[in-house]
Amino acid sequence: MTGIIPSQHLRDMIARGEIAGTPEITEAQIQPASIDLRLGTVAYRVRASFLTGEDRTVEERLAEFEMHRIDLTDGAVLEKGCVYVVPLMERLALPGGVQAVANAKSSTGRLDLLTRAIVDGGTEFDRIPGGYTGPLYAEICPRSFSVLVRPGMRLNQIRFRAGQARLDDTALKALHNRVPLVDGMPVIEDGLGFSVDLKPGEGDIVGYRAKPHTGVIDLDRIGEYDPEDYWDAVRTRKERIILDPGAFYILVSREAVTIPPDHAAEMAPYVAMVGEFRVHYAGFFDPGFGHDAAGGAGSRGVLEVRCHEAPFVLEHGQIVGRLVYEKMAAEPEVLYGADMASNYQGQGLKLAKHFKTPKA
């Protein structure tokens, strides 16, 4: 078996104890090509983000950097600008030929809630080597909004890969010729490039910018928050905007993207030299994303953008990121958007699911 492991084979891994949880993993956690990870009952406030390092455990590092502990049992606030480490309810006992990669869930990224997996002996965030046996932890740093969390909340997810799954540019071009991946001419260079849409359809709103001083967001409250309390609309009729240093923006891709049922994708940076900003590459794109939207027309990708040291002019059509496509080991039994409730299928410019629909 080679490729990203689909839902039906993830269930087999759970049955063999290669993926385990306390309490046991639920069916609701199993996605077409990943498993949602659940927060445990305690958060450790730490002085700084850290990587564990070879031959070290997260527990050992926490003994060095812990400031205090927070009981999450009845809910607790993780404050903006602070760094926390939360033991997860899941643990792994991977076979040697199976690697894992974690990533923030879509709604987590849209809240600018930096969430990364760390493991014992880890030398990279979110990357877990084949044969790893041990616990999983989430490092959480709220960047724009303080958040209220509880045990069992699912902020990140994990994928499992057997062998080489990534498509090179030749294979990606062949896939696009078979199943159009974007509406228009593809830009294929170390993945599928996508650009920003700053040409408003109706009105002049092209995105949203997080307000600097807001209330707490309870992550269990869906569709309840007024966007005007948390976001400023970004408006333009000139097909460009100026990004402010340190500000966080929600924008949208110009291209409508399709992920065929036998593939998955991950958002990645384009190149560091294109500007003083980065696209928050939070998301996995599940098999079937955009595949059935609007008669197969694809779904646009939401871009989570943070500007760095200097103000930067971002223009309509500028390439800002890329999608790295990977083969599935088998087509999942359930596809994103077609067979399951999917918050972001067929999306355009859209805030996280916690907010009401913005007024025009």
Pick the CATH number of 3-162 from 2.70.40.10, 3.30.1360.70, 3.30.200.20, 3.20.140.10: 2.70.40.10
Of 338 and 196, the structure prediction assigns the larger pLDDT to: 196
Average pLDDT over residues 230-239: 96
Mean pLDDT lowest among 7-21, 143-157, 158-172, 322-336 = 322-336
Q: Looking at the domain covering 169-327, what would its CATH class be? A: mainly beta
Q: Quote the pLDDT of residue 345.
A: 46
**pLDDT for residue 298:** 81
Contact 326, 263 (CB under 8 A): yes
Whole-number CA gyration radius for the chain: 20
What is the average pLDDT across 139-166?
96
Give me the mean pLDDT over the 254-272 stretch: 85
Please state the domain extents for the chain.
3-162, 169-327
Mean pLDDT of all residues in 192-210:
91
pLDDT in tens, 15-39: 999 999 999 999 999 999 999 999 9
On the question of pLDDT at 240 being above 70, the answer is yes
| Least confident piece of the model among 74-78, 229-233, 336-340 | 336-340
Q: Is the pLDDT of residue 342 over 60?
A: no
Q: Which of 201, 211, 79 is nearest to 140 (CA)?
A: 79
**Average pLDDT over every residue of 115-128:** 96
The pLDDT of 220-248, averaged and rounded, is: 95
pLDDT computed for residue 45 by the predictor: 98
pLDDT, residue 144, reads 95
Q: What is the pLDDT of residue 346?
A: 46
State how far the Cα of 93 lies from the Cα of 132, in Å rounded to an integer. Answer: 6
Q: What percent of the chain has pLDDT over 90?
A: 76
The pTM (predicted TM-score) of the whole model is 0.93
pLDDT in tens, 29-76: 999 999 999 999 999 999 999 999 999 999 999 999 999 999 999 999
> Does 278 score more than 80 pLDDT?
no
Cβ-contact 162, 98 below 8 angstroms: yes
**Tell me, what's the pLDDT at 145?**
97
The CA distance from 207 to 243, in Å, is 11
Half-sphere exposure of 220 (CA within 13 A, CB side): 10
70, 76 in Cβ contact below 8 A?
Answer: yes
Residue with tokens 């896939």: 175
Q: What average pLDDT does range 338-357 have in this prediction?
A: 70
Does the pLDDT at position 252 exceed 80? yes
| Mean of the per-residue pLDDT values of the chain | 91
Q: Does 14 score more than 50 pLDDT?
A: yes
